[in-house]
Amino acid sequence: MAANRQWQRRLCAWALVPALLSACSETGSPQEQDKPARLVDVARVVPANGASQTSLTGKVRAVERTVLSFEVGGEIEQLNVDVGDAIARGQVLATLDAERYRLQLEQARASASEAQAALTEKRLDYERQQQLQEQGFVSNASLDGAKAAFDTAQSRYRSAQAAVNIAARDVELTQLKAPFAGAISERLAQPAQRVAPNEPVLEALSERGGFEVYTHVPEALVGKLELGSEQQVRIPALPDAAYAARIEHVGSQPASSNNYPVVLALQTPGADLRAGMTAQVLLSSSSGMPEGVGFLVPMTALIYAEDASVFVLRLGADNRLEKVAITVLELRRDRALVSGELGDGEQVVSRGAEFVAAGDKVAVLGQGAERFN
């Protein structure tokens, strides 16, 4: 009897196993129920309208600007201006110690005087030889010799006079003068410093030529910019200032990291605008896509599969993620133009996509109680 009761208890225990397994599969394990949803950031899908506007950072600079240097070398004796100083055309901005150049000028003048005296002597001798030859007392050969000596003396005098002019010019070049009215933007040397010829000393700006904005654009955008097209520039330091600008130059070689230089001329610069101010350049370019074709999504929303296909994770009902295959039509500065089964206003994961997958239930950043993964 005892053996039969024990066998009956074992049969009952085995009969309960399927029921327990079924209950676990329906309700999930306690660990799965307590596991919090992954926190992600989402962005709305925006339909493309055939044009795009990209915001870039640039720098205001004067159209007419130059780096000033001495054409002769020496020690800087005086530096009369500093950064920000206004300058007038022809104003002496800096001077070199000119003592050596003045001595060279005196030496050149002395050599010129000797050459002039020698020229006078040879001229008188040639004139005497001419008179004697007319009287038959001097041969033609003697006259020719006197003429050659006179010509040589003339050449030496002209050379000595040229040396005087060069030495006088060198003395004058020890003064660095302003080529136009404007302002000093940078001082690149100091008093008592020795500088070589053409070594930068000062940088000057002129406001008479207006202002331009210098910026860089990524390679994906540079081919869509048109020379002469009208753009918009804002100056953060002047909150109410917005300027019309025209693209004057698009670089053919990248400056760095595949970013190409672009120069825009400001059409009507205001009185408060200054060279060196930071500019926000709002570039509008045609994407080549007709209106209503494609969508704009953040670049960070793109997920690349092992087979080189691209997809995004769309936020579906009950915050569950759906995989949507897309085709990338164009990469812009921070967004991508794509086509696929997306709709205006739908949300895709823009940050945190590497930690989730299709079918996962997620929590959206900024919704619900604040927490951290």
State the pLDDT at residue 276: 82
Tokens of 80: 């009369």
Is residue 372 in some structural domain?
Answer: no
Of the three residues 173, 199, 223, the one that is the final residue of a domain is 173
In a domain, 7, yes or no: no
Does residue 75 form part of some domain? no
pLDDT reported for residue 171: 96
Residue among 275, 284, 334, 333 at smallest CA distance from 58:
275
Note whether 233 and 253 are same-domain residues: yes
Query: How confident is the model at residue 373, as a pLDDT?
Result: 45
- Residue 312 CA to residue 267 CA, distance in Å, equals 43
CA distance 245 to 230: 6
Is 71 contained in some domain?
no
Q: How confident is the model at residue 187 (pLDDT cuts 50, 70, 90)?
A: very high
- What letter represents residue 255's amino acid? A
What does the pLDDT read at residue 9? 55
Are 40 and 356 in contact by the 8 Å Cβ rule? The answer is yes
* CATH number, domain with residue 307: 2.40.420.20
- Determine, yes or no, domain membership for 192: no
Q: 298 and 266, same structural domain?
A: no
What pLDDT, in 10s, does the model give residues 34-85? Answer: 557 888 889 888 887 655 667 788 998 888 889 999 999 999 999 999 998 9
The Cα–Cα gap between 246 and 230 comes to 5
20 domain residue, yes or no = no
pLDDT value for 28 = 45
Distance, in Å, from the CA atom of 365 to the CA atom of 373, rounded to the nearest integer, reads 11
Of the candidates 286, 305, 328, which is a domain's last residue? 286
pLDDT at residue 14 tops 70: no
In a domain, residue 357? The reply is yes
**pLDDT above 80 (res 6):** no
Question: Domain check: are 260 and 220 in the same one?
Answer: yes
**What is the per-residue pLDDT for 263?**
92
pLDDT of residue 26: 46
On the CB side of 340, CA atoms within 13 Å amount to 24
pLDDT of 246 higher than 60? yes
Q: What is the pLDDT of residue 176?
A: 96
pLDDT in tens, 209-235: 678 899 988 776 777 788 888 888 988
Query: What pLDDT is attached to residue 291?
Result: 46
Query: Which range has the worst mean pLDDT, 2-6, 43-47, 231-235, 332-336?
Result: 2-6
Q: What integer pLDDT is reported at residue 237 of this predicted model?
A: 86
Whether 21 is covered by a domain: the verdict is no
Contact between 80 and 93 (Cβ < 8 Å)? yes
Q: Which domain holds residue 102?
A: 98-173
Give the model's pLDDT for residue 13. 47
CATH number at residue 249: 2.40.30.170
Q: How many domains does the chain have?
A: 3
User: Do both 261 and 296 map to the same domain?
Assistant: no
pTM value > 0.75: no
Which residues is 177 bridged to in the sheet? 92
What is the SS3 assignment for 341? coil
CA atoms of 53 and 280, how far apart (whole Å): 12
